[in-house]
Amino acid sequence: MSLDAKKLEKIELQLLLETVYQTYGYDFRQYAPASLKRRLWKRLREEKLRTLSGLQERLLHDGDCMERLLKDLSINVTEIFRDPPFYCAFRTKVVPALRTYPFVRIWHAGCSTGEEVYSMAILLSEEGLLERARIYATDFSEAALAQARKRIVRLEHMKEFTQNYLAAGGTRDFADYYTARYEGALFDKELMEHVVFSQHNLVTDGSFNEFNVILCRNVMIYFDRALQARVHELLYDSLCVLGILGLGEKETIHGMPFEDRYECLDAREKIYRKVR
């Protein structure tokens, strides 16, 4: 008796993800299946393999293959001042409260290659808050963090990013924040003096501080509902009372743990305040 193709693929997928977890400590077992399978099949093609079982075997014996797979699984869809209305709402509905604190701790969870971290640093600088703020920018991918620390983005994107900056309520000439070099734009070192880039896995790691603001935007859309709930619990535990949670456009706290312990500051831009 032979298994049909779908059942076989499901078994192969479970075994592969268990191998990754047991061997390397990265847990993708509760990622949304559709997105996960697309990325795994991309790695299959790149490795010139035919089956997930073949990929599983290679991962067991080839750490470099695992590094390549991590790059595939890392969600690097990001840009400077992505979703400009979010930053406008942050300026008007969050910044006034942050002004009342002597020091502001911000956790940018799932920071990818850093573009949205640069954006928040610029916003805080313009609002006079950067000097008394610390941004903890984390991602599970060390390769993404290494890119983020370089402070470089491709110059070809800067026209679009300048439009994003202006739409996000920027108050200066955006070119003041970077130096154009060859095909890249190097953001000012001073912006990053208040940023700490560090490896942290939302799936397997716990809370590491108490924050006034947590931004976890467009990350949990790749998780299944059970994992989303677990991450929401982590974020809640990491927020101080009256702390701010910012989610992505397609993410929600509805139906999640502690939903009733937040008040909504901006329903459209998914900005919430922890009230108890």
pLDDT in tens, 178-216: 999 888 999 999 999 999 999 999 999 999 999 999 999
Please write the tens of the pLDDT for every residue from 224-269: 999 999 999 999 999 999 999 999 999 999 999 899 999 999 999 9
> Is residue 239 in some structural domain?
yes
The verdict on residue 79 lying in a domain is no
Give the sign of the dihedral formed by CA 250, CA 135, CA 79, CA 200.
negative
Q: Does position 1 have pLDDT exceeding 60, yes or no?
A: no
Q: What is the four-CA torsion angle of 130, 89, 219, 47, rounded to 10 degrees?
A: -80
* Total count of domains within the chain: 2
**Residue 224: in which H helix or E strand, if any?**
none
User: What is the percent of the chain with per-residue pLDDT over 70, rounded to a whole number?
Assistant: 99
pLDDT tens, 215-229?
999 999 999 999 999
Looking at the DSSP assignment, which residues form a beta bridge with residue 135?
106, 195
Residues 173 and 247 in one domain: yes
pLDDT at 80: 97
Element (H, E) at 11: helix 5-24
Q: Among 17, 47, 73, where does a domain finish? A: 73
Say if residue 126 is in the same domain as residue 211.
yes
- Host domain of residue 24: 5-73
Torsion of CA 16, 19, 23, 28, to 10 degrees: 60
Average pLDDT, the chain: 94
Domain end position, chosen among 73, 92, 122? 73
Phi and psi at residue 116, in whole multiples of 5°? -75, -20
Who wins on pLDDT, 206 or 76? 206
Bridge pairing between strands 133-139 and 104-109: parallel
**Do 63 and 90 share a structural domain?**
no
**What is the DSSP-derived secondary structure letter of residue 50?**
S
| 272 three-state secondary structure | strand
What's the mean pLDDT in 76-80? 88
Q: Of the candidates 46, 73, 100, which is a domain's last residue? A: 73
Classified as helix, coil or strand, 188 is: coil
Q: Is residue 16 part of a domain?
A: yes
What sections of 25-157 are H helices per DSSP? 33-47, 52-61, 63-73, 84-93, 95-98, 115-126, 142-150
Supply the pLDDT for residue 221. 92
Are 39 and 91 in the same domain? no
Amino acid identity of residue 22, one-letter, is Q
Q: Which H/E stretch holds residue 167?
A: helix 158-167
CATH label of the domain that carries residue 239: 3.40.50.150
Count of other CB atoms within 10 angstroms of residue 183:
9
Mean pLDDT of 159-171: 97
197 and 123 part of one domain: yes
Model confidence at 2, pLDDT cuts 50, 70, 90, reads: low
Query: pTM of this prediction?
Result: 0.89
Residue 3 pLDDT class (50, 70, 90 cuts)? low
Output the pLDDT for position 180: 92
Confidence of residue 272 (pLDDT cuts 50, 70, 90): very high
